[in-house]
Chains A and B, each alone.
Chain A
């Protein structure tokens, strides 16, 4: 009887180790989603980079915006965009229904088109569509944008 108990115990322990060693599935919640994507664009719509700074990773990163060719860090990005945004007095930026989020463990990438409705300081209204590719990485428990590509198609 004791031997059988020991055999069973060894098997159960082995199974437990086996289960522990198995790869963990990616977290199903808490990662960036469509609501989070809209939140980021709501931040940009305030025309103040301070309202989106918390979403971006620091260090050397590549960010492609409408203009210029590229930025090499969040610092460069916010300084450059600040100048562009100064030309506008209002903006509404809406993530369209074609947004798709691809979770990949501690990396998430997503694509979407963005409906843009912006008013220049002169009062002129600019309406259009952006294309957005975004890559997040989980760093110290926070999802941060490590790459972003925003563009407008050529006419």
Chain B
């Protein structure tokens, strides 16, 4: 009788472990989960960047080594480099406005979202010169700790 009881207990324990292991993957969303990136978030990011202060978008970027390709220079290797570089570029402008065009497309793939869009740029340099252009934007988010963070971004301007 005792042996049978122990056998059953061992089986139940194994089943419980198995279910626990799966539960980790399929647990319901935490209450703090941020919404899945969409076009509205993309415009919000551009609005943040348009302030020319990276602090206004810093919350969307993770720490650690990540590749960011911006208009210039060749590349940034993490958020700190990126923020510092953009701050220097931003110092040349008195105003900067970026508008997401209608061709934005967002693709969700589980806990990864990637999106593409063209962006209308309308900026004024400190010299007063107006600069208008179209940028291309590829952006990749990963869900980390319930938050969607930008793990890669590629912004560029086509050559003439």
Contacts and interface: CB of A to CB of B under 8 A. Distances in A.
B83 interface: no
A48 B151 CA distance: 33
B36 to A, nearest CB: 16
Given A18-B18, A105-B110, A149-B136, 5 more contacts: A4-B4, A21-B22, A65-B158, A152-B159, A153-B156
B112 A104 contact: yes
B159 A3 contact: no
User: What is the size category of the interface that chain B forms with chain A?
Assistant: 35 or more
A111 to B, nearest CB: 4
Contact of B157 (A104, A107, A147, A154): A154
B69 A70 contact: no
The prevalent SS among residues of A at the interface is mixed
Contacts of A34: none
Which A-B residue pairs are the 7 nearest by beta carbons?
A151-B156, A11-B11, A64-B136, A131-B69, A18-B18, A133-B154, A149-B138
Interface in A131-155: 131, 133, 135, 147, 149, 151-155
Interface string B104-130: 010001101010101000000000000
Given A14-B15, A62-B116, A109 B152 contact: yes
Interface residues of A, number: 41
A153 B70 CA distance: 7
Contact of B138 (A3, A7, A69, A147): A147
A148 to B, nearest CB: 9
Main secondary structure of the interface of B (DSSP, over half): mixed
Interface of A: 3-4, 7-8, 10-11, 14-15, 18-19, 21-23, 62, 64-70, 98, 100, 102, 104-105, 107, 109, 111, 113, 129, 131, 133, 135, 147, 149, 151-155
Interface in B1-58: 3-4, 7-8, 11, 14-15, 18-19, 21-22, 25
B145 interface: no
Given A131-B75, A133-B69, A155-B72, A4 B105 contact: no
B112 A107 contact: yes
A131 B18 contact: no
A4 B67 CA distance: 58
B71 interface: yes
Q: Which of B15, B19, B72, B138 has the most CB of A within 10 A?
A: B138
Most buried by A among B72, B156, B158: B156
Contacts of B70: 153
B92 to A, nearest CB: 13
